[in-house]
A and B are shown apart, each in its own frame.
Chain A
Amino acid sequence: EAQVTQNPRYLITVTGKKLTVTCSQNMNHEYMSWYRQDPGLGLRQIYYSMNVEVTDKGDVPEGYKVSRKEKRNFPLILESPSPNQTSLYFCASSLGSYNSPLHFGNGTRLTVT
C-alpha cells in the first residue's frame, strides 16, 4: 500500500531534549516536506527536499533540522526543543513536479513541556 509513515504518532518531551521524528515513503517520490499545523494558522512549511541531498528552508525553519540521505526517508530533528514547538507535525511527499499533489502521513503530535 502506498503510504507516508511517520513515527511516533504522539510524543511528550521536555525542553532541550533532542528528538527525531521519522518519515518514510514507499512511493519512490522525489519531493518530501515537513509541515506544522497550529490552530488558526493552517499548515506552515518547515523544510522541504526536492531530491536526495537537496533540502531547503520553508517558512518556519528555525529550531529544526532535516536530512535526506536516501530517497525514502526525511527525518525531522529538533536539537533543543522548546514549548513553542508544541504542535501537530505532518510529513508529505509527491512525485516532485509542481503539479503533483501531496500525500500526507498521519501526523505526529508533539508536546514540549
Chain B
Amino acid sequence: AQSVSQHNHHVILSEAASLELGCNYSYGGTVNLFWYVQYPGQHLQLLLKYFSGDPLVKGIKGFEAEFIKSKFSFNLRKPSVQWSDTAEYFCAVIGSSNTGKLIFGQGTTLQVKP
C-alpha cells in the first residue's frame, strides 16, 4: 500500500541554521511528490512539487527538495532558516495509477528560535 513517512516529528532550530526534513515514500510506480507548509492557524499551502525532470526542485521562500528515486526519498532543505519558517511541513505523494489519492506524511513541526 502507498505510504509516506516523515522521520522528524518536531525540529527546533536557531535562525540561520540549515534545515533538512526527511521524507520517504512507499509506492511501486511513477509518483508525483509535494511538500506543503501550514503556518500556525492557517491552511496548507504548496511549497514545491516534483513531477519529472531535474530531481532537484526549488520552491518558494528559498526551499528546495531532492528526489532520489533509488532511496524513495524527497527530502526538504533550506540553507538558512528564519523565524517566519516556523510551521508544520507535510510531504505528500500521489501515484500515477491512483489519481484520486494523495497520501500525506504525519507532518514535521519546525520551530525556529530567533
Binding site for B on A (CB under 8 A): 31, 33, 35, 40-45, 48, 50, 56, 58-59, 90, 92, 97-99, 101-102, 104-107
Contact = CB atoms under 8 A, between A and B. Distances in A.
Give chain B's interface residue range (CB within 8 Å of chain A): 20 to 34
A44 B45 contact: no
Contacts of A44: 104
Given A44-B104, A105-B43, 18 more contacts: A31-B100, A40-B9, A40-B106, A41-B106, A42-B90, A42-B104, A42-B105, A45-B102, A48-B101, A90-B44, A98-B94, A98-B96, A98-B98, A98-B99, A99-B32, A99-B51, A101-B46, A107-B43
A15 B105 CA distance: 30
Interface string B82-114: 000000001000111011111111110000000
Contacts, number: 57
Which of B4, B42, B102 counts the most A-chain CB atoms under 10 A from its CB? B102
A42 B106 contact: yes
Contacts of A90: 43-44
